[in-house]
Amino acid sequence: MICIVISFFDNINGPRPLLSIPNTLNDIDLNNIASLIDKTFETGFFIYEFPEYKTANYFFEIESEWARGNKEMVLLTIVFDLNFDYNSLDLQTIMNDFINELSNITNLFKAFYIFDFNRKKDNEVKFYYEKLKELIIDFKGSLPKETLAVNQNQIKIFVFGLDRAGKSTILNRAKTNLFVKTSPTINLNIMHLLFGNIQLDCFDVSGQKRYRYTWRRFIVSSQYLVFVLDVNREDRYEEAKIELWKVLSYEESKGIPLLILINKTDLKKKIDLNYFINFLNLYKIKDRKWHIMSTSALYNQGIKEAFEYIIKDLLSNQLTMFSM
C-alpha cells in the first residue's frame, strides 16, 4: 500500500485533498485522487486505476452543521501499487466499517475546515483534524497484512520487557508527547506511531509472567526489537536479563537488531550504561546489531531520540542494501 487519502468537497474550491497518511504522494497526485469525487454521484465503494497506481475508494457523507445541505461529502481512498491484487480482500467491508466508525463521532465535520480562513484558528477545528489523522493512522495499521505487501514505509517493532518496565508509557509518550497513565497491558496492544513518512507499528506486549509465553508469536516479521528495563528495580534485573536472553535465543528473533532502553532514569541520580552492557552480557550478542540508551517517559527524556535512532538505523541499512 502506498498511502491513505481523505478528500472532501470544498464549497469554494471543489474536490480537495484533506490529508494523506503517510504523505507520500505529490500535490498533483493528491488532487487527481480528490477529483475522483467528481466521477461519482452515489455514495459507496468503487475502484479506480491511474497509470501509476490503483485506488480503492469509498464516497460517503458526514453530518455537518457548517456545510450546505448539512453534509460534508467525503472520499476515503486507499492507494496501492499497480501490482496489488485487491480481489482477494473485502476492502469494501473494511472501508465501510471504518466509515461507520467515523460517522459516529460528533463534530468530526469540523476537521474539514482546517483550510477555512475564518475557522482554522478555532481550536476545535484543529482538534478534530488531529483526531481524524489519528483515526486514519490507526485504520492503516489495522488493515490486513496483504495490503502492506510492498510497503517500505511501514516498520514492525516488537517492544518487550518485564511488567511495569514502562513500555506502554514510552509508546504513549512517543505518540502523543504526553505522559499518559497506563493500565497493565493485557496480552498485546499495537500502537501506531508516525514519523514523517514512516509508520512504526509497535507491538507492545504484556510483561506479566502469564503472558510471556505469547511473545514469541508476535516477534515474527519484526524489523526491530526494543527491550525496556526499569532502572529502579534492581531486584528484578536478573529476571529481566533472563527474559531478554530468552527472546534473543528464539529462532523468530534471529538477526533482528535490538535497542535496549534503560527507563525511569528520573528515579536514579546517576546512570551508568556500561554497567548494563556488562550485566546484561550485551557484548556476547554476535548475531545482530544492538544499542543501549536511557529514557525517562516521565520527564520525556530520550524517547524521541530512541525512535529516531531506530528509523535512522533502518534507513541506513536500506541505503546500503540499495547500493550493493
Ligand X SMILES: Nc1nc2c(ncn2[C@@H]2O[C@H](COP(=O)(O)OP(=O)(O)OP(=O)(O)O)[C@@H](O)[C@H]2O)c(=O)[nH]1
Task: From residue 139, give the alpha-carbon distance in Å to each of 21, 22, 86.
Answer: 10, 12, 17
> Which of 149, 144, 33, 155 is closest to 98 using CA atoms?
144
Among 110, 140, 167, 175, binds ligand X (CB under 6 A): 167
Q: How far apart are CA 245 and CA 32, in angstroms?
A: 51
Query: In the window 17-76, what residues touch ligand X (CB under 6 A)?
Result: none
Residue 175 as a binder of ligand X (CB under 6 A): the answer is no
Minimum gap (Å) between residue 176 Cβ and ligand X:
13
Q: How far apart are CA 73 and CA 76, in angstroms?
A: 10
Minimum gap (Å) between residue 194 Cβ and ligand X:
20
User: To which H or E segment does residue 203 belong?
Assistant: strand 198-205
Stretch that binds ligand X, among 18-26, 148-156, 164-172, 248-256 (CB under 6 A): 164-172
Residue 263 as a binder of Mg ion (CB under 5 A): the answer is no
Residue 55 as a binder of Mg ion (CB under 5 A): the answer is no
What interhelical angle do 123-142 and 91-103 show, nearest 10? Answer: 150
Query: In the window 194-223, what residues touch ligand X (CB under 6 A)?
Result: 206-208
Residue 168 as a binder of Mg ion (CB under 5 A): the answer is yes
Q: Which is nearer to ligand X, 174 or 228 (CB)?
A: 228
Q: Which is nearer to ligand X, 154 or 206 (CB)?
A: 206
Q: How far apart are CA 24 and CA 17, in angstroms?
A: 13
The C-alpha cell at 87 is 480481489
Question: Which of ligand X, Mg ion, none does 164 bind, CB closer than 5 to 8 A by kind?
Answer: ligand X
Residue 263 as a binder of ligand X (CB under 6 A): the answer is yes
Stretch that binds ligand X, among 100-108, 127-135, 251-259, 262-270 (CB under 6 A): 262-270
Q: Which is nearer to ligand X, 44 or 184 (CB)?
A: 184
Q: How far apart are CA 64 and CA 215, in angstroms?
A: 44
Extract the runs of DSSP E, i.e. beta strands, from 64-187: 71-81, 154-160
Contact residues for ligand X, defined by CB under 6 A: 161, 163-169, 182, 184-185, 206-208, 228, 263-264, 266-267, 296-298
